[in-house]
Amino acid sequence: MGRIKSQSNDTMITLVRIGDTEVGLVSVGEVFERIYQGKKKPEEIERIELVRELSDYNFVPDGSWNEYAEVLISEYEKYYNKKILGH
């Protein structure tokens, strides 16, 4: 998963690169864990649904949904692989 940064109020921010910009997203771990607990493999996830769920917690510009989807599915694949390997 992208770099994790902790805020003073215990909010975890995941830093990811969208195009040329580093973006901080909140609730990524929680959303990924819900998806993982639902037994969804990365290839089973609707990319736009993933962005839609994260957009409940984060601003996602209208023209950037596909870019966010690509990055988020890649991040979920990393998360998923760590979970199944027990890391």
Q: Could you give the maximum distance between any two Cα atoms of the chain, in Å?
A: 36
Name the nearest CA neighbour of 14 among 25, 22, 6, 57.
25
Any alpha helices (H) in the chain, and if so which ranges?
A: 28-37, 47-55, 65-85
Residue 58: strand, helix, or coil: coil
Q: Comparing 8 with 49, which gets the higher pLDDT?
A: 49
Residue 3 tokens read as 């770099």
Each residue's pLDDT tens digit, 22-63: 999 999 999 999 999 999 999 999 998 899 999 999 999 999
Q: Is residue 81 predicted with pLDDT exceeding 90? A: yes
**Cα gap 36→1, rounded to integer Å:** 14
Structure confidence at residue 12 as a pLDDT band (50, 70, 90): confident
**Cα gap 31→54, rounded to integer Å:** 7
Residue 3 has a pLDDT of 56
Residue 86 has a pLDDT of 82
Residue 11 has a pLDDT of 72
**Cα gap 86→69, rounded to integer Å:** 25
Q: Comparing 5 with 28, which gets the higher pLDDT?
A: 28
Structure confidence at residue 9 as a pLDDT band (50, 70, 90): low
